[in-house]
Amino acid sequence: MIIVTGGAGFIGSNIVHALNARGLRDILVVDDLSDGHKCINLVGADFRDYLDKDAFIERIEAGRDFGAVQAVFHEGACSTTTEWNGKFMMQVNYDYSKSLLHWCLHRGVPFLYASSASVYGMGPGFSEQRAHERPLNMYAFSKWQFDQYVRALPAPAASQVVGLRYFNVYGPREQHKGSMASVAFHFHHQLLRDGAVRLFGASDGYAAGEQRRDFIHVDDLVAAKLWLFDHPRISGIFNLGTGRAQSFNAVAQAVIDFHGRGRIDYIPFPDHLRGAYQSFTEADMSALRSVGYEGRFMPVEEGVPRYLRWLSQQA
């Protein structure tokens, strides 16, 4: 069996579909379906069982077994960057992860979990070094603190432990995320509704729309994660982006080019985001490359139209 927490969410559901593509169907999906819209992400997927996240962690903390578990992909978390209830965030993102980690270590089960590039804050450094880590909100802090906990584990660990710091992920099955969905998703719907996409004006020394982020297509992210699953001797905390920052203008233009119409409207940069906005991110991918990963990452000019074709088919 393979366990995927957050398995009805954006990245988790894409992992389930990718495992199916390998012929793997003995999967336990763990999630919170209070928002039942997420079930759409699992349409067409095959998995053996489903458990609510609270029922699952109760069994984990009670030391229950789930039979032979091949790996745990831990994608479940509260990813809302505007959530400032620190007690809630640490319970859901930190304590939950610790319990699951120790359950895996005790049984020798590979544990591959989602960290976040938000741990780097405003940068300017984006390599997996303590000196570069400056979380700006509770979400980032909860992810950073779990990375710190993993770093302090006795070496070597009893089984594979891999944390991946996701940069700006976009692609299929993110529609339930609402305001937290990718800019590619929002630009697509803005253009269909208004004939224009909206970008922030000049800020932090960047011209209008020229703020730059490392945008990674979810298919590339999942491919890297499954490669690590195939190499259980590799452990560590790694960045997972493309290694190339691209502008919001580039994403907007890819959306416009796909539809063959539209324009860009620039809006004033919001005062409440000044000093708390990542105007530049770019993953240093040397650590993941150094352990042998040679996979290619799509630029937005390729990844965005691929995603929009999928969105159009779903519509």
* Catalytic residue positions, numbered: 139, 177
38 C-beta neighbours (distance < 10 Å), count: 22
CB neighbours (10 Å) of residue 193? 8
- DSSP at 241: S
Alpha-helical (H) ranges within 153-299 are 183-194, 218-230, 248-259, 286-290
Token couple for 241: 């982006």
Pick from 42, 48, 13: which is nearest to 222 by CA? Answer: 13
Q: Residue 310 pairs with which residues in a beta bridge?
A: none
CA separation (Å) from 279 to 119, 123, 250, 283? 15, 9, 14, 14
Cα–Cα distance measured from residue 171 to residue 20, given in angstroms and rounded to the nearest whole number? 18
